[in-house]
Amino acid sequence: MHRDRFFTLTASCPDQVGIIARVSGFIAGNGGWILESSFHADALTGRYFMRIEIKADSLPILLAEFRERFRAEVAEPLSMDWRITDSAIKKRVVVLVSKQEHCLYDLLARWQAKELDIEIPCVVSNHDTFRGFVEWHGIPFHHVPVTKDNKAAAYAEIRRIFEDVRGDAMVLARYMQILSPELCEALAGRIINIHHSFLPSFAGAKPYHQAYERGVKLIGATCHYVTSELDAGPIIEQDVIRIDHSDSPEDMVRYGKDIEKTVLARGLRYHLEDRVLVHGNKTIVFR
């Protein structure tokens, strides 16, 4: 949180000899000081992944010029998918919520404490329940009702709000609605959800009740990217807690709220720090 400014390079390309040498040599050749680096080779798909942090003031050139040189000298010759972000530019996170408060409360507490060093330009809800709480934090609140008859218009309005506030990511903090395929596609890789089960088990509604009926001994939560297929997007983070035969569905709901908060916060942090690279329906997460 109090580190000096740095740039983060994330990239993937076909696996081949000399990738690290090519990238690190380019950075060093431009005066760059590498603070942190992570690499992964996927043997099954022949794809190589990397994440490198570069000390900003070690570069004698502007970031725009560094990007252009990297594109021409490294990215294009290696057929890379890549990007470079700047830690000085805070990510703008739009939060969506329904009637359950625990994830919203936790995110705003972490934001207020600067544990999540982000901007929250607004909160959007299909209910007016949390308007006072959100506005007390000085954050604009948008009430966008969603009914079976107005879903297309409602999701178009949510997209308009997101674009108007220049959002970087959208977080569904127990937003109990299924987003339209059009919105999922428009913001692919930018919408993060917390699902209250250890996916792919117990997708859909009432997962704790489904778990109770199956008599499971572990329940969990899953932070994942949202796609048009319900609860089936690339998984970012998961965790579990142990239960037993004496626990009711209500007990599981109560236990689950704690794990949902922590898993969502961890998954969101990984995304914001550019630690997540999506590969098909899987993710590579450089913790």
- DSSP assignment of the chain equals --PPPEEEEEEEEE--TTHHHHHHHHHHHTT--EEEEEEEEETTTTEEEEEEEEEGGG-SS-HHHHHHHHIIIIITTTT-EEEEEETTS--BEEEEE-S--HHHHHHHHHHHTTSS--B---EEESSSTTHHHHHHTT--EEE----TTTHHHHHHHHHHHHHHTT-SEEEESS--SPPPHHHHHHTTTTEEEEESS-TTTT-SS-HHHHHHHHT-SEEEEEEEE--SSTT-SPEEEEEEEE--TT--HHHHHHHHHHHHHHHHHHHHHHHHTT-EEEETTEEEE--
What are the catalytic residues?
A: 231
